[in-house]
Each structure stands twice: as structure tokens, then as C-alpha cells.
Amino acid sequence: MSGRTARRRVLRVSLPGGARPRADLLAAEEPLGIRIGGQAFTLTMRTPGDDIDLAAGFLVGEGVIRSADDLTAIRICSGGECDHDDHDATGNVADVTLSPGASAGQARRRNFLTTSACGVCGKASIDDLATRSPYDLSADRVSVAPALLAQLPDRLRDAQRVFDRTGGLHAAGLFTAGGELMAVREDVGRHNAVDKVVGWALRAGRLPLSGCVLLVSGRASFELVQKAVMAGIPVLAAVSAPSSLAAELAQESGLTLVGFLRGSSMNVYTGAQRLPVG
């Protein structure tokens, strides 16, 4: 497996007029093919590491699997080592074997590249994204103090090991309602970082993630809301803005959506009953 960082020579320019060559550390980005039963499903660009969690979490978001019981195995191999080489990928391949009782019929092949910037680019329609969640988020009565929520970005930042070396990774952190950090994952793509967290939870037998808070280091897109809903997470917070479609899906799904979580302020777009003020 490749490393999570790569070294490259750059020209460091410091105004006014100074320039010198130096070594710089970049966040790695490489392809990962995901297959189900040897058949190509999608190809995603990601930061290497936690690839089994990434594949598992991705399939949760797609509605293909719901629990660890739906998985028999996930095997990581290079393109040349796998029995089937449909992706023509130069990077690694996650070959997923579903259990006999899993709903493999939901696994529709994605005939496009999933980039690290947008996990759903190329989807034919929004209707194709709106996979029905097996969990009723509106029944989750968790309460999170806004003052505690405001502390979480600093806790997430303190746990970002690769970001400290590269400055080029997004992070997703899973917290309890009391602010305990359960898991953190980093990746060049926001959606990949979330998939890695959800995949960790699935493999640990923790789904649904009732009473938990998911914090992401960037903006909250429709896809990130979708992934939170599919994992049974009742609260999604982002340090930047949500999209209009993300807010609509959050409202429909009973998800609490928080944006612009910075310092002592935040915007609560949906589900404000879970954040008691005063």
C-alpha cells in the first residue's frame, strides 16, 4: 500500500523577491477500485489508508449493506493481483464479498470515476441519490449542548495527524453527545473521510450511530447528509456552509444540520430541538 504522504521539490517564493528550492510534503491521492463479487462497482480517488473502512462505508451510503452481517470479506489487492481486472486501475482494489443474505441486487455498477472532490459527480439524477435509510432519525432524542458542540472543531483539529504535515486533508470525526471522540479519519475527499468513519463503525458493529455527532472539516454537501442519514447519525456539523439541497434532505430525514461552526457561533439549519439554548 502507498503512503499517505508524498515528498516533492518545490520553489518557495517569499515576497518581496526571495525564492529558494525546498522539499514539500503533499497529501497522497491515488485510485481505489471497489468491486462486489469480482465485478467492478466504482473507482474512487482517495488518500491511501483505512481502505477497508472506506469500501465498507461507501457501500453503506449506497444502501448495499446495512450491517457487518452483510459482509463476508473485503480483500485489498493490487490490480494485477486480483482475479478480475475490470477497472484498469493503477492503484489498489477493494474486492468485496457479500454474505448470501445481503441485498446484492441493490449494487448498481457506477460507470464513472468518483473523484476526491465530489463523490456523486456523474449521478444520473437526484432521485438516484435518495436511497431510503433503514433508520428513523426523527426518533433519536439525543441532545447536544451548543457550548460543547463549539469545542469539537478544535478537538478534531488536534487529532488530524496527516494534516499537520501536509495542510491538505479533510477530516471527519465521530463524537458522542458528551464530546468524546470515537473515531477520526482523514482524506483528500470529504466524502471519503466520512466513508472511512462509517466503515469503521460498521465493522465494529456500531450501526446505527444513534446519539452521535458527525463533524466534517469542510462544507456539508447533499452527499454528506445522505451518508449521515444512511448510518443513523442524528447530528451533522460542518465548519463551513451546507448546500440548499443538503438542508432539504436533512429536514426531510429528521437530521440536525449545523453549519459555520466556528468559534462560539454556528448556524442551525434543521433539527434545532436537539441543541437546547439557554
CATH code of the domain covering residue 37: 3.10.20.10
Q: Which of 77, 118, 121, 212 is catalytic?
A: 118
The model's pLDDT over 100-141, given as tens digits with 9 standing for 90+, comes to 877 654 555 554 456 555 555 544 434 555 557 889 999 999
- The pLDDT confidence band at residue 166, using thresholds 50, 70 and 90, is low
| 14 or 171: which leads in pLDDT | 171
Query: Is residue 265 packed enough to be buried (19+ CB in 10 Å), middle (13-18) or exposed (0-12)?
Result: exposed
Q: Is residue 22 part of a domain?
A: no
Same domain? 268 vs 145? yes
Instruction: Pick the range with the lowest mean pLDDT from 13-27, 83-97, 131-145.
Output: 83-97
Q: Which of 92, 127, 162 corresponds to the end of one domain?
A: 127
Same domain? 110 vs 173? no
Beta-carbon contacts of 119 under 8 Å, excluding residues fewer than 6 positions away, are 44, 189, 191, 192, 195, 223
Same domain? 62 vs 181? no
pLDDT on residue 25: 79
Same domain? 141 vs 267? yes
pLDDT on residue 51: 95
Same domain? 120 vs 180? no
Which amino acid would we find at residue 273? Q
Axis-axis angle for helices 51-61, 222-230 (nearest 10): 90
Mean pLDDT of the chain: 85
- Does residue 198 have a pLDDT over 90? yes
Q: Is residue 50 part of a domain?
A: yes
Does residue 212 have an active-site annotation? no
Same domain? 144 vs 248? yes
Same domain? 141 vs 266? yes
CA dist 110 and 59 (Å) reads 12
The model's pLDDT over 251-271, given as tens digits with 9 standing for 90+, comes to 999 999 999 999 999 999 999
The model's pLDDT over 31-76, given as tens digits with 9 standing for 90+, comes to 999 999 888 999 889 999 999 999 999 999 988 999 999 999 999 9
Q: Is residue 11 part of a domain?
A: no
- The pLDDT confidence band at residue 6, using thresholds 50, 70 and 90, is confident
- Does residue 89 have a pLDDT over 50? no
pLDDT on residue 154: 93
- In the chain the first and final C-alpha atoms are separated, in Å, by 50
| Of residues 226, 278, 277, the one with CA closest to residue 255 | 226
Q: Is residue 20 part of a domain?
A: no
Same domain? 121 vs 163? no
Q: Domain range spanning residue 154?
A: 137-274
Cis peptide before 153 (omega within 30 of 0): no
The CATH number that applies at residue 198 is 3.40.140.10
Q: Is residue 6 part of a domain?
A: no
CA dist 149 and 74 (Å) reads 35
Q: Is residue 146 part of a domain?
A: yes
Place of cell 447528509: 225
Domain count within the chain: 2
Cis peptide before 242 (omega within 30 of 0): no
Same domain? 246 vs 142? yes
pLDDT on residue 16: 83
